[in-house]
Amino acid sequence: MNYPNGQRKRPFKKENPGIKNKQYSNRGMTLEEDINVTNQYYLDADRAVIHKKPTPIQVVKVHYPQRSAAVITEAYYKQASTTDYNGLYRGKYLDFEAKETKNRTRFPLANIHDHQIKHMKRILDQGGISFLIIRFSAFEETFLLEAEKLLVYWNDQFNKGKKSIPYEKLQEESYLIPLQYQARVDYLSVIDKIYFKER
């Protein structure tokens, strides 16, 4: 069977018997690419306005090979970025970070930075919605972990707790995001359940 784009459908192979109805529509794509495509779909469907934040850079040197063309040859980051994405959905401010890991047993907290945690806490304090999207690339599974729960793990590591979140805990305490054709990482369907109490 072929997809509309002409690619052959890969045969279904169950890698993790604990997860049912696993879909492989995003195989070969990075998490960031999948989220960007999803956000464009949300925008085109007038469902939400969510964008990837640009990383602020300071340009140091520019090469002009032609009058009408400029090439940046040296630049540096002006400041540490906060989180990857932000926007509006159903009148609420959304702000989230996306991380992908090849680890099969845990998500290392070292993948998150202190300034990102502080930023997420500020969003929560102002009544916004903040969360972390984690993809375990080995299993092709993508989870949404609320910032409130992430903060508990983050703080515990400084009190002799673990410096990572076990995969099993994420299965229990986060939400498996459905993978679909148009909204590849349909995280808004999870947001509807958590914050807007929709089934």
Domains and CATH numbers, the chain: 31-54+80-195 (3.40.1350.10)
Query: What is the residue-wise DSSP string for 56-76?
Result: PEEEEEEEEEETTEEEEEEEE
Instruction: Say what the pTM is.
Output: 0.76
Q: What is the pLDDT of residues 124-174, one digit of tens each?
A: 999 999 999 999 999 999 999 999 999 999 999 999 899 999 999 999 999
User: For residues 32 and 3, what is the distance between their CA atoms, to the nearest angstrom?
Assistant: 22
Compute CA 57 distance to the chain's CA centroid, rounded to the nearest angstrom: 22
What pairs with residue 123 in β-bridges? none
| Rounded alpha-carbon distances, angstroms, from residue 29 to 87, 137, 184 | 23, 10, 10
Residue 46 Rama label (left phi>0; alpha psi -120 to 50; beta): left
